[in-house]
Structure 1
Amino acid sequence: MQIYDSPPTEHSVLEDIQGLSLGVFLCGLGIHVLTHVGLITGQTAGLAVIVSYLTGYSFGAVFFVINLPFYLLAYRRLGLEFTVKSLMSVSLLSVVTDALPLGFTIDVLHPALGAVIFGATVGLGLLAMFRHNGSLGGLGVVALMVQDGTGFRAGYVQLLTDAVIFGTALFLFPASVVGYSLLGAVVLNLIITFNHRRDRYIAT
């Protein structure tokens, strides 16, 4: 087997745009499926979904506002490029999640299948964004900081925070909703845990 010894290759601006755009679209698609079947999720998006259900405000608007305090943290610890990309991605996701129901409706979907579709699409979307030095802000920023600083996997950090959010959700939603939602969160976080490895992906 031939081994290539070459220095890391940086992403071009065009590669970043397509990678982040694909990531945002996949995440928006997953959230559209999630909210259609009335489920919740973890992380900052989960908080936004819960607030959206309880208040009637759109997910996009709530998600954008909740993320605002995390941008200062991202700038101080992860740099300007990461912060700008995350801000743009969050803003675009807010638009995508509000626009998708206008052109994409779902007739019949079992909550269990919806949870798996959500976990798979959002997991892949986040991977695309991580590999182009972006994120959807919020608690995902904290998870990446913990992984880079300690080596403790970002997926495990997110699983722990999800446990707190889902434990709280048991007091607000039926157990069946929380159970199916937990399935989606597990699929999502396992995808991140097994595939997000900076040492396996050398392009920056």
Structure 2
Amino acid sequence: MVTIDETKVRHTALDDAQGLGLGVFLCGLGMHVLTHVGLITGQTAGIAVIISYMTGWSFGAVFFVINLPFYLLAYRRLGLEFTVKSLVSVTALSLVTDLLPFGFTIDTLHPALGAVIFGATVGIGLLAMFRHNGSLGGLGVVALLVQDKTGFKAGYVQLISDAVIFAIAALLFPLSVVGWSLLGAVILNMIITFNHRRDRYIAT
């Protein structure tokens, strides 16, 4: 029988680079789909999307700025490596989301399918980043911190914060937009809840 200790692996720099790179790309792809169909999401990205819709500012730029205050918390609680990886990942995602429209355009996409694609791609992308000790900063840092300290699953923490963001969004957007957006957020968070298990995957 294999014990947890026997399943430990050590990630190389190349392992981390490809894992974080894949995660950023999948998250960027999901955000491109989300904004194309005019939906919203939760977490820090959701706040950035709402601000972007209301002001016309670039999502990438808003997302980068909003994340800045969270790096101090990440450094104090989760270490330098996690903070640097998160900073690099957030910067990369900001660039990817701004550049994708130049090479990938979508003709027709129903909001329901867009929500599913968003939830699946971003959920898998975040899993890849979590497994390489990275994140997209913001409220995700808080969720990971709560899970590591209390055992309360990161997915549930994100669901609670999403509920607050969606309640505010319901005052600003049509209920159809909020409804389809909620579908995407639920899919994303359920993927993280069922698959982000440190007792199943341990890496150093």
Bin of the TM-score, shorter chain as denominator length: over 0.9
SS at match of 1:198: coil
AA partner of residue 149 (structure 2): G
Give the match for residue 177 of structure 1. 177
SS at match of 2:77: helix
**CA distance in structure 2 between the partners assigned to 1:65 and 1:46 by the alignment:** 13
Residue 186 (1) aligns with residue 183 (2): no
The TM-score, its normalising length taken from structure 1, stands at 0.98
Residue 9 (1) aligns with residue 26 (2): no
AA partner of residue 154 (structure 1): A
Distance 1:7 1:39, change over 3 A: closer
Q: What's the CA shift string for 1:32-84, capped at 9, x where partnerless?
A: 00000000000000000000000100100000000000000000000000000
Give the match for residue 134 of structure 2. 134
Give the match for residue 72 of structure 2. 72
Give the match for residue 94 of structure 2. 94
Alignment gaps of 5+ in structure 1? none
Give the match for residue 121 of structure 1. 121
**CA distance in structure 2 between the partners assigned to 1:78 and 1:95 by the alignment:** 25
Shift of residue 6, structure 1, vs aligned partner: 2.6
AA partner of residue 198 (structure 1): R
Shift of residue 7, structure 1, vs aligned partner: 5.9
**CA distance in structure 2 between the partners assigned to 1:3 and 1:152 by the alignment:** 26
**CA distance in structure 1 between the partners assigned to 2:112 and 2:188 by the alignment:** 14
Shift of residue 8, structure 1, vs aligned partner: 1.7
Give the match for residue 161 of structure 1. 161
SS at match of 1:11: coil
AA partner of residue 28 (structure 1): G
Give the match for residue 50 of structure 2. 50
SS at match of 1:97: helix
AA partner of residue 196 (structure 1): H
Give the match for residue 147 of structure 1. 147
**CA distance in structure 1 between the partners assigned to 2:147 and 2:129 by the alignment:** 16
AA partner of residue 185 (structure 1): A
**CA distance in structure 1 between the partners assigned to 2:2 and 2:96 by the alignment:** 42
AA partner of residue 127 (structure 1): L
Shift of residue 202, structure 1, vs aligned partner: 1.6
AA partner of residue 86 (structure 2): S
Give the match for residue 62 of structure 2. 62
Alignment gaps of 5+ in structure 2? none
AA partner of residue 154 (structure 2): A
- Aligned-residue identity in percent: 81
Give the match for residue 105 of structure 2. 105
SS at match of 1:199: coil
How many residue pairs end up in the alignment?
Answer: 203
